[in-house]
Structure 1
Amino acid sequence: MPSLGRTRWLILIGLPLTLFVCLLVSQNASDSDRGIVAAGGRATSKLKGLGLHIGSTAMRYTNGPARWLRMGLTGEAAKESELVDDIQIAPSHISADHASQISLAYRNKLKEIRPALPHSKTLGFSRIYVISLASRTDRRARMKRIAHALGIELTFIDAAPKDSDLIKWIAERVVKVRSEKRRLIARARSVDEAELGGSTVGSVWLAPSVPWKINPALEQPSEETDWEGTDKVIWPSLKKDHYEGMDWVEYLNTRPDPYLTLKPDDPDLNVTSALWDYLDSYAARQVNDAVIATWHSQTRALHKMKENGDTTALVLEDDVDFEWDIENMWNTIKTFLPTEEKPREGSEPWEMVFLGHCWGAETSRGAYFHPHLYRSYAPRCLHGWTVSIAGRDRLLRQMSDPWLAYQLPVDTAVSTFIRAGALEAYSIEPPIIIQSKDTPSDIQPGLGSPWSGLLQDSTIERIWRHDGLIVPRHNESVMQRDPATRLRVSLTRRAIMQRWALGPQADSKEG
């Protein structure tokens, strides 16, 4: 009987305790079916207590039916991570759409983490200049919309109208200089004047009257320039009394309002006919009113930088589009550029960088310490570039040579400086700024050339999608392929052939 009494007491005490434990387990399982939210620093211990295992692609609750949550974490590191805030364990009956939303939880969490560098309203430059005709309010409105989207500030520079008296005044002087330059070089070469011409990089018209400072490591073979005999020419001074003792370019650049004070002798001058080069059959390379206006506008941007004391500046045309993440891209790439503080063997401090360019075979010289940074080869187009103080001064000096100024398109002149080793320039490839080709061109008929380039994540396309507009599809047919694409294909093919020819030597060099 005594033993029976003890048994009765054990039953009376043990049964309620057993029921209590069962209720706790049941409640725990019920909570997990409804989903558990792990928050703050308590998340890690709670997840461990429930038997959660986090792998490279999923997190599973093991105390019952499998529950999966896609994650970007790996193994034990994920369990201990502070980034498990707001992790949700989804019930098995969840819909596919809801599961997809939950799978982005970690990505969205990371998007909230701010970059190490604070946002700069000028992308890290002293200023961002936009060259734009005052009359093109459509383009200015478009650029302001892009600036608002990127959170940046723009400074507009009024471009020179191609039909202004000033452009005719400049053209008259370019015609006179070219005529005299032809005579002097023909005599130095002992050839007929009709044999001189050409509008490509290294053209005879871009031969300098004052020797440039050259970096031998960048200088291209002499056969790539048509400057034979120009070093023997004695270039007469073009300083005139009616220019107040200055040459015509210096006089032009010092006028407070050249549009009002400089008038041509012949208001009806046909610039294209007067400067037509019969040795170049490609009409797009001929000098016309728009070419002269563009040179003047780009020069004004350099002078503005000097007036404002900018240490660097990004200069844009008003028809561009940006990579959405351009700030982070530029902040990363620029750290690989050689500077006074961070010199690199065989390199002078950088002077110019092309964030945008076209048709230049920029990968020809190989990547420069970063897979998207290259020493410039012969970039065309000036829709997105930056210069240092040294680069600004060198460009102004070379572009103000009265025997060279305005003789050809300004981008051809800049490419000539680069090929001659007279400018420390770099190009980002692929470009992170492109010409959008979605508004009428100020230089060519219609939208200009049919090739606009491609971005990974276009800012203007994001804006269009936000506005509910249809984004046009990039169409590059085999019969009308972008010259930049053809250049990349040919350069890649050439690199593959060179590697094949070298055989094992190529691998040993890379190793």
Structure 2
Amino acid sequence: MVSVVPRKPFRRSFLRERTCIFLLQRPPLFLFLFVFCTLLVRFTHVLNFHATWKEASEIQVRLDLPFAPFTSTETVHIPGTSTLGFSRIYVLNLVTRTDRRAYMETLVRSLNLDVHIVPALTPASSELLPYRHLLHERGWLNVGGYLREPELACWGSHMKIWSDVVASNLSSALVMEDDVDIEWEIEEIWAQLQKGLESTTGLDGWDIVYLGHCFNKAGPVLYRSMYTTRNGGQVVHSIREARESFCTHAYAVSHRGAMKLLRLLRDTDRSVDWALNRRRRKAHLRLLSVHTPLIIQLRKSADNPSDVHPGDMRSEERPEEELIESTASHFKL
């Protein structure tokens, strides 16, 4: 009878040990492999970035967009369970305002919102170079408005978001700036209002819905609902025609609306909120607003200066806006 000697199982750790000993005994070879692998990883990263940028540029040309859509390297995704019924939620943030970004990350996480933080353009952004001819001060007898560098950067930031909405084929999007406070029960309230909006205007019968606004001359009521809060109180919310709404700190835009805005505001002569109101009257833009607002802008102060108008405290002149229950106050942000 032949006895069979069992083979010892192959140990991968043994191979790793022998490989390490082999390389450590040959420092030049070890250094060469280390540098080669490092450069290979860097080169692959550059190729991926170039491919993403090239794809975004091709989409921009194909769809005739004024700005290229955001690349994956430009956006910061904050995962959550809710987009409030929109295809995507954008938060516009200057990369230098890390304080506001940290605040907004905490705010949206408190509400478990799924959000994409995107970089706002600055007056020095190269993407604005083709549009610097739009800059001008007030015209004769102050007629014609003005568009200075900060307003141009703000206009470009919103135009870039609308370009991304069209390029990504989103049915709708919520756009927020990074200095807002949000209604604590916004998900439940907006779900109720959204049903009324769809029954009144259809799925795509609107261009912009302001969830937050200032100096708004509200028009006729399209839909009104009674909401019972978690504390048992009852609050009336309504959707109205927006006759003259200013500020762009919180609004929803439909796909149809984004396409209209890219065409109508491509050659603007005023800040983006003024231009929206002018085009509403001339180009049949359907602008709606929520009353009372579900999102409000934080008051400007020395600790929270305006990015568009540094040193300007005109927000103190606005009528006082209050939420039913502030998320920032709820979590002491």
Shared topology, TM-score over 0.5? yes
- Structure 2 residue aligned with 1:161: 122
| SS state at 2:110 partner | helix
Q: Distance in 2 between matches of 1:436 and 1:343?
A: 31
Q: Following superposition of structure 1 onto structure 2, how do residues 167-316 of structure 1 map, counting pairs within 5 Å?
A: 167=128, 169-171=130-132, 173-174=133-134, 274-280=136-142, 286-316=146-176
Equivalent pair of 1:128/1:154 in contact (CA under 8 Å): yes
Deviations along 1:435-459, one digit per CA (max 9) or x if unpaired, are: 1125221012336422462212111
The answer to whether 1:366 aligns with 2:215 is no
Deviation at 1:279, TM superposition (A): 2.2
The correspondence for 1:442, drawn from 294, 307, 310, is 307
Equivalent pair of 1:338/1:350 in contact (CA under 8 Å): no
Cα distance 1:307–1:456, how it changes in 2: closer, same or farther (>3 A)?
A: same
The answer to whether 1:453 aligns with 2:306 is no
Q: How many matched pairs?
A: 236
| SS state at 2:190 partner | helix
Q: Distance in 1 between matches of 2:177 and 2:249?
A: 5
Equivalent pair of 2:94/2:121 in contact (CA under 8 Å): yes
Equivalent pair of 2:146/2:269 in contact (CA under 8 Å): no
Deviation at 1:304, TM superposition (A): 1.3
Deviation at 1:165, TM superposition (A): 5.4
- Structure 2 residue aligned with 1:420: 282
Cα distance 1:289–1:343, how it changes in 2: closer, same or farther (>3 A)?
A: closer
The correspondence for 1:375, drawn from 241, 246, 251, is 241
Deviations along 1:344-381, one digit per CA (max 9) or x if unpaired, are: 7xx9812221101111211xx22112151101111111
The answer to whether 1:320 aligns with 2:176 is no
- Structure 1 residue aligned with 2:33: none
The answer to whether 1:152 aligns with 2:113 is yes
Deviations along 1:86-136, one digit per CA (max 9) or x if unpaired, are: xxxxxxxxxxxxxxxxxxxxxxxxxxxxxxxxx942111111101111111
Deviation at 1:309, TM superposition (A): 2.5
Q: Distance in 1 between matches of 2:160 and 2:128?
A: 14
- Structure 2 residue aligned with 1:205: none
Alignment TM-score, normalising by the size of structure 1: 0.43
Deviation at 1:278, TM superposition (A): 3.6
- Structure 2 residue aligned with 1:260: none
| SS state at 1:431 partner | coil
Counterpart of 1:375, as a letter, is E
Measured on the aligned residues, the alpha-carbon RMSD in Å equals: 2.6
Equivalent pair of 2:155/2:272 in contact (CA under 8 Å): yes
Q: Distance in 2 between matches of 1:275 and 1:169?
A: 18
Deviations along 1:51-86, one digit per CA (max 9) or x if unpaired, are: xxxxxxxxxxxxxxxxxxxxxxxxxxxxxxxxxxxx
**1 or 2 for the larger relative contact order (CA 8 Å, sep ≥6)?**
2
**Runs of 5+ in structure 1 lacking a partner?**
1-118, 175-270, 468-511
- Structure 2 residue aligned with 1:394: 260
Deviation at 1:321, TM superposition (A): 0.8
Deviations along 1:191-238, one digit per CA (max 9) or x if unpaired, are: xxxxxxxxxxxxxxxxxxxxxxxxxxxxxxxxxxxxxxxxxxxxxxxx
Structure with the greater alpha carbon radius of gyration: 1
Cα distance 1:302–1:165, how it changes in 2: closer, same or farther (>3 A)?
A: closer
| SS state at 2:223 partner | coil
Q: Distance in 2 between matches of 1:391 and 1:164?
A: 26
Cα distance 1:393–1:164, how it changes in 2: closer, same or farther (>3 A)?
A: closer
Deviation at 1:167, TM superposition (A): 4.1
Over the matched positions of the two proteins, sequence identity in percent amounts to 30
Deviations along 1:147-185, one digit per CA (max 9) or x if unpaired, are: 1111112211211112445546522x22xxxxxxxxxxx
Counterpart of 1:144, as a letter, is E
Equivalent pair of 1:167/1:289 in contact (CA under 8 Å): no
Q: Distance in 1 between matches of 2:292 and 2:148?
A: 30
Equivalent pair of 1:437/1:447 in contact (CA under 8 Å): no
The answer to whether 1:411 aligns with 2:273 is yes
Equivalent pair of 2:88/2:173 in contact (CA under 8 Å): yes
Q: Distance in 2 between matches of 1:348 and 1:313?
A: 12
Counterpart of 1:416, as a letter, is R
Equivalent pair of 2:204/2:254 in contact (CA under 8 Å): no
- Structure 2 residue aligned with 1:351: 207
Equivalent pair of 2:81/2:114 in contact (CA under 8 Å): no
The answer to whether 1:431 aligns with 2:293 is yes
| SS state at 1:461 partner | helix
Deviation at 1:396, TM superposition (A): 1.5
Q: Distance in 1 between matches of 2:221 and 2:283?
A: 18
Deviations along 1:393-416, one digit per CA (max 9) or x if unpaired, are: 11122122xxxx231111111112
Counterpart of 1:368, as a letter, is L
Deviation at 1:308, TM superposition (A): 2.3
Q: Distance in 2 between matches of 1:299 and 1:380?
A: 17
Q: Distance in 1 between matches of 2:84 and 2:162?
A: 19
Deviation at 1:418, TM superposition (A): 2.0
Deviation at 1:298, TM superposition (A): 0.3
Q: Distance in 2 between matches of 1:352 and 1:169?
A: 27
